[in-house]
Structure 1
Amino acid sequence: MASLSTLSHFLQECISSLLTWKALALFLALMNLKNLPLVWHARLAHHLYRNIRRTPQDPHHPASTHPPPHATHPIFLPLTISSRTPILETDYNFHKSNSTYFSDLDIARTALATRIFTPGSRLVNRDLDAELASASASSGKAEKQQPKGGSKLGLYIALGSVFCSFKREIKPFERYEITSRVISWDEKWVYMISYFVRPQAGGKGTGKGRLLATALSKYVVKKGRVTVPPERVLRASGFLPERPAGSVASSAGGGGSLTPGDSGSEEGQLLDEGITATGTATGTATGVDAAVVREVLLDAGGGDDAVKEEQRERNVHSWNEEDWPWERIEEERLRGLRVVEGYAGLDAKLFEEWGGE
């Protein structure tokens, strides 16, 4: 009887010690690790550094993707990440709150943007420094173009807008995948589609399964107040070949180079007036992930420019140019642009109709 009494007393002490506030707080923290302070930043940094292409040998596609050779052009390859829904991300219906989809999208888009923009960002940034300096000198605006602190402005990627459509609920602690890919680009914007998917059996990491939500986002490449055509950066990254001689960008297409100081061009107006293509004053990135991406893209681009140029050449020849000539890439780009046509100009139309009231 004495031994049973001792055992009972010991168990009571163990249970009471486990039910302390500290133990409960630790349990809740572990159950909601995704929502703890700075964890979002750590996740962003993880996917950002994982997708930086630093050397000429780095592939176009992420390490987790194994597409059939040349089946899809690298610019259109999807990228998939996975996550779960902790209790702190649920709403009063006890499923993933609609507002929390956007923090997951920040991570997914950053991973994709890093992969496609990292190689060419330094090359384009260097070229634009020379072009803007030349334009400023010729127009006598050298002092105006000099940013505060005396350092040159860096090239960065800014989030313009996000549209999200919710299809099915995501239950607490349920695992889901977010698959993102570039579907098109025009003179200003790069359009990305993201799918929230419940993975099917044996389909982990493939992006295939039950559709839970769809999101459409658009990014703009900026250098200070100057808008850089996405095609220029993608070409410098080695994702796009040179335009064939005599080809002309369609009205829906992104044109090649920036011509600073030309008052007859949109880019010249951007340089002179400091406005975006839509006429809205801009000085900083609007995306929550833009500040981090801006610094890492420039840091990752360090090194010999000759090495970067060699990387670009290798990237250009890393897919079958007979299967994916410039004409086929352009056809796919225009197909995607037709799909997002209504979304692309929706905000401008809404403001035109009701913004002035």
Structure 2
Amino acid sequence: MFDSTETGQPVIGALLYLAGAYLVAILLVNVRSFPLVWHAQVLLPIGIMRCKYYILSFWHLISFHPAATRHSEVVRRLESACPVGAHPFEFTIICKCWTGPDDADWLGHLSNSSYAKSRDLALSKFAVKALPTFLNTGGWVALSSTSYHFIHEIPIFANYKVRLTIGAWDQKWMYLVCRFTSQSKKNHNRKTKGKISSGASPEESASSTPTPRESESSGLSGEEVTEALATSLRADVNDGTILHCFSISRVCFKVGRVSVPPAVVLACEGFSKPSTSGSYSSPPLHWSHAQALRSLSDSLRNYRLFLTGAWRDVAEEERWWNEPLSGVVEEQRKANLKKFEVVLAGVNGCMSIG
């Protein structure tokens, strides 16, 4: 007799296997969007850096050296990670990203809502690389707002990069610019056959400071300035770099609930104008002032007190953090800030519409 139960079991088993394989594939494709994955990618590196002082202090505790000696060694380790001598407008953070199905929209492009997730990765990396000692005082970077200008879509499964640079700052706010770029396949194949004659890679030539041209009038409307920013951010088509989007993020630096001027934070981390030396082993002149704040006692308490308000007690002529950011840096800061203020004014002006 023909037994339908026995013949049906292999079919059911095969269907269950296919269903299980499909479920596993769906989970793997969306693994980057699982709960807590964003937190691990964005917040965990910052958390580790913020605890680095205490981690290193505990490690050196077994040396049985005096507390001041241990503190001095730990601070030295922290300061070795600072961008000493770096030009603030040339400091660049690059994050390599990929457009997975979980980040794409129904048209097969990177969803507009997913740009913020990649931007968060760049902001996290910026905080860790640019502000190591600031983070260890309990400092953090607060995001106020972000404006996006979408130019070209990023197709699904495509690789792209997020380049973050400092645009400008005032007494409270800093403006960070993110460029979302990819490499043209046609030019990428051509690039692999020969090097650029200047000796600079396309990545290096495309990571210059994304600021508007100095010759542009500061009296432009918000829309005109935004278009001018987009034009100035577009990479030369000859190097094969495609600019898909750029964003402007307004952030401030806080220790607890107290805002710290960006110039104070940048100078304390070692940023300086280009005429000075640029390494931890051969630091700029102002670096000794920042080091003194962190080595006055057996903790970072004095440094924290300086950031949270003691800097106001320093006489104007003795404010050492102004000199390293003067000259060409200050000129570029003022020129860039005018453009960002016009864009911000245009956005704020739209709040009264409707």
Pair in the same fold by TM > 0.5: yes
3-state SS, counterpart of residue 334 of structure 1: helix
Give the Å deviation of 1:174: 1.0
The CA deviation string for residues 184-235 of structure 1, in whole angstroms up to 9 with x for no partner, is 1001111000011113536696584211111110101234554321112222
Q: What's the counterpart of residue 83 of structure 2?
A: 60
Find the aligned partners of 1:24 and 1:160 in 2 and give their Cα distance: 41
Asked if the contact 1:32/1:88 (under 8 Å) is kept, the reply is: yes
Distance 1:97 1:164, change over 3 A: same
The letter for the 2-side match of 1:88 is: D
Find the aligned partners of 1:325 and 1:346 in 2 and give their Cα distance: 29
Find the aligned partners of 1:121 and 1:48 in 2 and give their Cα distance: 8
Give the Å deviation of 1:41: 1.4
Find the aligned partners of 1:236 and 1:170 in 2 and give their Cα distance: 38
Q: What's the counterpart of residue 78 of structure 1?
A: 92
Distance 1:207 1:114, change over 3 A: farther
3-state SS, counterpart of residue 327 of structure 2: helix
3-state SS, counterpart of residue 253 of structure 2: strand
Q: What's the counterpart of residue 36 of structure 1?
A: 34
Q: What's the counterpart of residue 113 of structure 2?
A: 99
Find the aligned partners of 1:81 and 1:14 in 2 and give their Cα distance: 44
Q: What's the counterpart of residue 339 of structure 2?
A: 339
Residues 1-357 of structure 1: pairs in structure 2 closer than 5 A: 16=15, 18-20=17-19, 22-45=20-43, 48=46, 55-60=78-83, 73-74=87-88, 76-122=90-136, 155-200=139-184, 201=188, 208=206, 209-240=241-272, 304-305=299-300, 326-351=326-351, 353-354=352-353
The letter for the 2-side match of 1:56 is: E
The CA deviation string for residues 158-192 of structure 1, in whole angstroms up to 9 with x for no partner, is 10110011111111111111000111100111100
> How many residues are paired up?
232
Asked if the contact 1:86/1:172 (under 8 Å) is kept, the reply is: yes
Q: TM-score normalized by structure 1?
A: 0.55
Find the aligned partners of 1:206 and 1:46 in 2 and give their Cα distance: 29
Q: Which segment is superposed worse, 85-94 or 340-349?
A: 340-349
The letter for the 2-side match of 1:84 is: W
The CA deviation string for residues 318-345 of structure 1, in whole angstroms up to 9 with x for no partner, is xxxxxx8731221221232133121233
Find the aligned partners of 1:348 and 1:172 in 2 and give their Cα distance: 34
Structure 2 alignment gaps of length 5 or more = 1-9, 53-76, 193-200, 207-240, 274-296, 305-323
What is the root-mean-square deviation of aligned Cα atoms in Å?
Answer: 3.7
Find the aligned partners of 1:187 and 1:51 in 2 and give their Cα distance: 26
Distance 1:222 1:75, change over 3 A: same
Distance 1:307 1:177, change over 3 A: farther
